Amino acid sequence: MKAPLACTLLLAAACIIPALSAQQSPAPTPQTAAAEDAVRQANAEEIQAFLHNDSKTMARLWSDEFVVTNPLNKFINKSQVLDMVQSGFLAFTSYDRHIDYVRIDGDFAIVAGLETLTWGGSNPNAGKTQQLRFTAVWKKQQQGQWQEIARHANIVPSP
């Protein structure tokens, strides 16, 4: 039941981002500014965790209900992603994330942007640099920390 909710949230986010980005965002409040800073920090931690194959940090940053539609067009959950990291299949030698959009809405954050990465490890694309478009949904948990609950990433086709 939780996976369909995450999919619905991710689909809704993907549909509303173009409309929202065309609108003027209200002036940030101190609370939304602090939330955006925290979500951006969590994104930076996620990149470092990928670069250092740090599955412990990834597990902390991702909710137990975390789901991903990955660039291989597979819908997978947290444990499957962590297994891919631990096996060396999901590895990177470089990873840059440019955040184009952050929207804080209460205890939820939508983050979208462009990633440039070089695959590593035992991935069949190891050594290849690609760009990904991504959308992620983060949720502020009861303890106050932000965790990613859903993500979609697709490879940007080469021109």
Fold of 2-17+29-155: Nuclear Transport Factor 2; Chain: A, (3.10.450)
Indicate the helix (H) or strand (E) that contains 41: helix 30-51
> If you search the block for the tokens 């991710």, which residue do you land on?
10
**pLDDT digit string, tens, across residues 4-39:** 655 455 555 554 554 444 445 556 788 889 999 999
pLDDT above 50: residue 119: yes
Domain extents in the chain:
2-17+29-155
Q: Cβ–Cβ contacts within 10 Å for residue 71, how many? A: 19
- The answer to whether the CB of 46 falls within 8 A of the CB of 63 is no
* Alpha-carbon gap, residue 70 to 17, rounded angstroms: 19
Tell me the pairing of strands 108-119 and 75-77. unpaired
